[in-house]
Amino acid sequence: MSFLAEPLPFWEVGAYGNLSYWYGSIVCFAAVVIISIGANTRLGVALLISALLMFVFMLTQPLHNWYWFTVLAASAIPVSFMNQKSIYSKCAVGVLLAAVVVLNACLSIDNIGFEIYNRNVQMAEHISYSSVIGCVENSERSEEVNVVYDMATIGMVLPLSNGVKRISYPSSFSTLPGITDAGSRTDRLAVLGERSREILSIREFLKRAEDGGAKKQWCGKALLVRF
């Protein structure tokens, strides 16, 4: 159910466009919908329709994944307005929801661990960022660099000389995988942090650059590739 083939490193830590990442489990979300319909049929069906419409929207606007929060918040509405008047029915709904929460937490452990890892990597990248700036400045002096693909770290912008074009992190994510002549020229510089190098399409770009004879240099946590 992923809308993107891999994580898009666009915001702090990480962001996926799919509901399973935000909610923890598609199975748990389906269970919440079923419980919601049982608690209040009209509002439960409205929740389901809202989720389906959001699914269609996300297919066309994958970067706007934060809109899933509207669906997550709406999950509580049908249960808040339960049709059941029996105390036993209400207790049953509460027990079922508690079980879903526990299951969801268990299924989300991997995602939580991955985000903690991303945060630690980002902190390490920020600590070594001054050395990356120095390396980029030296590369600009020693090579006639015209374009810099800035994927050093999320939330930081490399200072560049006048006339040097900077390609931002999300734009580089989209552009670098499509470059096939990596290594045939030396006026482009890719600055790749640890997190960006874990992206499959960026790893494939690095392989092409290496095969093409691109120059590589380590600067702190970043890898500079002149191609």
The closest of 149, 216, 146 to 177, measured between CA atoms, is 149
Q: What is the spatial distance between Cα 150 and Cα 164, in angstroms, rounded to a whole number?
A: 12
What pLDDT, on the 0 to 100 scale, is given for residue 223?
93
pLDDT for res 195 = 84
Query: Sorting pLDDT into bands at 50, 70 and 90, what band is 174?
Result: confident
Q: Determine the Cα–Cα distance for residues 199 and 222; give it in Å rounded to an integer.
A: 14
CB 225 within 8 A of CB 33: no
Q: What distance in Å separates the CA atoms of residue 181 and residue 146, rounded to the nearest whole number?
A: 16
For 5-39, what is each residue's pLDDT tens digit?
343 344 444 445 566 666 678 888 899 999 999 99
Per-domain residue ranges of the chain: 19-107, 127-226
| Nearest one of 116, 120, 101 to 24, comparing CA atoms | 101
Could you read off the pLDDT of 123-162 as tens digits, one per residue? 787 777 887 888 888 777 777 888 999 998 877 888 888 8
How many residues are given for the chain? 227
Task: Report the run of H or E that residue 58 belongs to, with start and end.
Answer: helix 41-60
Confidence of residue 187 (pLDDT cuts 50, 70, 90): confident
SS3 per residue for 18-37: CHHHHHCCHHHHHHHHHHHH
Residue 186 CA to residue 215 CA, distance in Å, equals 8
Chain centroid, CA 79 distance in Å:
31
Specify the higher pLDDT residue, 39 or 221.
39
- SS3 of 2, please? coil
